[in-house]
Amino acid sequence: MSTLDAPERGAAALAGPAPRILVIQAPYYREVVEGMLRGARRVLADVKASVEVVEVAGGYELPAALAMALKVPGRWDGFLLLGCVVKGETDHYTFICEAICHGVMEISTRSGAAIGFGLLTVDTLAQAEARSRDDRMNKGAEAAHAVLGQVALARRWGLAG
């Protein structure tokens, strides 16, 4: 396996009931994000997760939507964030990517919520398309594995249903 290959992953070992996952997606690059969602759905189907999908205007809105969702107690076991930011000719890309990542990390560490973070930050649309294909490099699938791992950990420690 080269350093660019994603690891092979099987279904998560998840005790308890099927997880309830909220997917918050920013479909500015709709085909890319829909490809990531397809990858995530395949992973989540392996554990019979119930999946609810909501859309926000863009990546910048992902942290705020996550914060709002966390105010609805007990509805979801985990949260999957999907989006894509492609570098342009200005510094806007840097500011947006840093704000999104910082916002999600701050919410994650403060809340302890099970979160899978699938935000592509790429130089070109071709790079994003390569990471949203129906193969093992799909970053939506990787983020789904991450959220399931976090749900499993929370359950192991008695922090979640």
Helices within the chain (DSSP H only): 30-46, 62-69, 92-111, 125-130, 139-156
Distance, in Å, from the CA atom of 159 to the CA atom of 153, rounded to the nearest integer, reads: 8
| Distance in angstroms (rounded) separating the CA atoms of residues 29 and 127 | 12
Residue 117 annotated as binding site: yes
Q: Is 92 among the residues known to form the active site?
A: yes
Select from 150, 97, 135 the least CA-distant residue to 119: 97
Is 60 among the annotated ligand-binding positions?
A: yes
Confirm whether residue 89 is marked as ligand binding.
yes
The answer on whether 85 is annotated among ligand-binding residues is: yes
Confirm whether residue 86 is marked as ligand binding.
yes
Q: Considering 48, 92, 136, 156, which one is annotated as catalytic?
A: 92
CA 135 to chain centre: 17
Feature table: binding site: 28, 59-61, 84-86, 89-90, 117, 131
Active site residues: 92
Feature table: binding site for (2S)-2-hydroxy-3-oxobutyl phosphate: 89-90, 131
Feature table: binding site for 5-amino-6-(D-ribitylamino)uracil: 28, 59-61, 84-86, 117
